[in-house]
Structure 1
C-alpha cells in the first residue's frame, strides 16, 4: 500500500510541476501584430495581418476585440453580441432604417427590448459611427 501511495504522490507532484511550467510559458497579453487595431486586415486565407487585405467583417472585428458601427452592422453581426439575439438585432436594424440611423444612445434605448443591461452591452461593443478602436471591447 505504501508503494502505491508513493507512486501517486510522485505522479501528483509531476502534474503540479507540469502545471507550473505551462503557466510560465502561457502566452502573454502582448499584441500578436505590430500594427494598430485599425490597420489590421484580413488576408484571403482569413488570417489577420498588417497591411494588404480587406477590413475585418463584423464577426471578425468582434473576434479581434474591435467595436462594430451600430449604424452599419447587419442584424447577423448584431445577433453575435451577448444578450442581443436575432429578434432584437432585427428590431435594431429596422429602427435604424426607419430613423435614418442612430444619432444618440437615447434613440437606441427607445427600441423595444433594449433595457439598461442591453444598452450597456451595446455601448461597450458598438459605436454610433465609425469606431475609434480606442481599446478592446471586452
Structure 2
C-alpha cells in the first residue's frame, strides 16, 4: 500500500512539474500587433495587420476581441455569440429592422427569447453604437 501511495505521489509531483514548465513556456498576454484593436485591418490573404486593408467582418472582429454593433450586425454574425443561435439572432435582426435600431438595452430585452442571461451576453459582446467605440469583448 505504501508503494502505491509513493508512486501516486511521484506521478502527482511530476504532473505539477510539467504544468510549471508548460506555464513558463506559455505565450504572454502582450498584443501581437502594435496598434489599437479598432485599427486592425485584414489583408486579402486573411492576415490581420496594422495599416491598409479591410475592416474585420463580424466573425473576425469577435476573434480579435472586439464587440459587434448590435444595430448593424447580421443574423449570421449574431448567431456566433454564445447562447444566441440562429433563431434568436434572426429575431434580434427582425426587431431591429422593425424599429430602425435599438436605442436601449430595454428594447433588446423586449425581444422574445432574450432573458437576463442572454441580455448579459449581448451586453458583453455587442454595443448599441459603433463597434470601434465599444472596447474589447472580454
8 A contact 2:127–2:134 mirrored in 1: no
Asked if the contact 2:70–2:127 (Cα under 8 Å) also holds between the matched residues in 1, the reply is yes
Corresponding residue for residue 137 of structure 2: 137
- Large movers: runs of 4+ above 6 Å: 11-15
Instruction: Look up the match of 2:69.
Output: 69
Q: CA RMSD in A?
A: 2.0
User: Which ranges of structure 2 fall in alignment gaps of 5 or more residues?
Assistant: 1-5
Long gaps (5+) in structure 1: none
Report the Cα distance in structure 1 between the residues aligned to 2:114 and 2:13, rounded to whole angstroms. Answer: 52
Question: Which residue is equivalent to 1:120?
Answer: 120
What corresponds to 2:37 in structure 1?
37
Give the whole-Å Cα distance in 2 for the aligned partners of 1:14 and 1:108: 51
Could you state the TM-score of these two structures normalised by the residue count of structure 1?
Answer: 0.85
Shift of 1:20: 3.0
Aligned to 1:86: 86
For residue 53 of structure 1, give the secondary structure of its aligned residue in structure 2: coil
